[in-house]
Amino acid sequence: MASDRLTFIDLFAGAGGLSEGLRESGFHCLFSNELVPDYADTYRLNHPGTMALTEDIREIDPRSVRKRLRLDKEELDLVAGGPPCQGFSINAPVRSLLDERNHLFKEFLRFVKAFSPKAVLIENVPGLVSFGNGLALRSVIDALGEFGYGADVRILGAAHYGVPQTRWRTFVMGLKGRDVPAAVFPEPLFNAPIRANFTATFNGRPLLKTPAPETKSGFVTVSDAIGDLPVLRNGERGEPVKPYMKKPSCGFQERSRAGSGGVLNHEATRLSEINVQRMRHIRPGGNWTDMPDSLLPKGMLRARKSDHTKRYGRVDPNGLASTILTKCDPHWGAYFHYSQDRAFTVREAARIQSFPDRFVFAGIQARQFAQVGNAVPPLLASAVGASLKSVLLNGA
């Protein structure tokens, strides 16, 4: 290959976390598709050079897209994306092979067939591995095989790659006309304290990519991630762009600030008075068990102290955040700031997801939280992209 600039398209792109990480690792996105307008608006703001369509993927002809991009078959380096995963999630109330969202994998595969790229990357939740006793994952791998791709799968912990939260993601990688070498999945950079609470084997083979014994034990903490952001009171909005209040104190903060002129999307939601009262009883690293019974939600009065350990949690500044969800609702996780009496802002959630500060989120605040929570952490995507790029360029 004459150039080390690799090209890709991003399907089910969301706000662009996967694209951002792949861009940071040296890929260039030519085309993206996202159905939800707010998500697509955010994608366009942050990837102005990409042809971005806001349409139902079932209505798009991939061959027409390829012609608009002036690409021949087998010319594109990568088809990437995260087909909707709600039907596969271990947290979904009902997991069914009949869930129509699961069949959107077929739409992804239509693009693979039309472009015949050198590589394929599918990102999803860990629950994909156990769904249908492995039938869903086997179907994806078999379909790639029918198109001439060797395929393999691993589950990666985001905290092992510098993301300060307990998030796991499944990556299916395919290479045209060849088996997938182990080197296509990045080696962990940190020995972070995370444990899997899901099925992590497929066909009797372990899928977790775990750190080698010599991997350094230091990991990025919550305070590393957000400790330099402006102080806010509960419900305080302030100016749309806020100045940094102190110099960066670590490499994560320096990376986050690169190319940014200030802090955007940093406005505190207004917690109810009862939640403010609850929060004042919770120590850093603590949760609902720190509250007096008189302040407990009725549904939790009979809960065991060992249950729901993240609910109404105040994060430990020296630890990892719980997985960022589509809303930082304290009833569902540890989303109280460790030293300020309020919940996380969109920017803090984005930092914990490893988005750089120059990445702007569009739409109303609730939609911004959803965009952040549904995204692939860019640092994790960048690690995957760097390993894949090395394999594509060097044939490792």
CA dist., res. 305 & res. 307, Å (int): 6
Euclidean distance between CA atoms 342 and 272, whole angstroms: 10
- The CA-CA-CA angle for residues 333, 18, 164, to 5°, reads 40
Q: What is the rounded CA–CA span in Å between residue 204 and residue 189?
A: 26
How many residues can be counted in the chain? 396
Q: How many CB atoms lie within 10 A of CB 231?
A: 11
Of 271, 272, 266, 275, residue with least CA distance to 237: 266
Torsion sign (Cα): 232, 237, 238, 240: positive
Q: How far apart are CA 85 and CA 126, in angstroms?
A: 10
Angle at which helices 37-46 and 365-373 cross, to 10°: 70
231 touches 246 (CB < 8 A): no
Contacts of 152 (CB under 8 A, 6+ apart): 172, 173, 179, 180, 184, 185
Q: What are phi and psi of 215, to 5 degrees?
A: -65, 135
Please say whether the beta carbons of 348 and 224 come within 8 A. no
- Annotation marks residue 85 as catalytic: yes
Q: Which of 29, 85, 250, 328 is catalytic?
A: 85
CA dihedral 96→97→100→103, nearest 10 degrees, is 150
Residues 256 and 185: their CA atoms lie apart, in Å, by 24
Rounded Cα–Cα distance for residues 18 and 114 (Å):
21
Residue 359 Rama label (left phi>0; alpha psi -120 to 50; beta):
beta
Q: How far apart are CA 153 and CA 351, in angstroms?
A: 27
Separation CA 376–CA 370 (nearest Å): 12
Which residues are known to be catalytic? 85
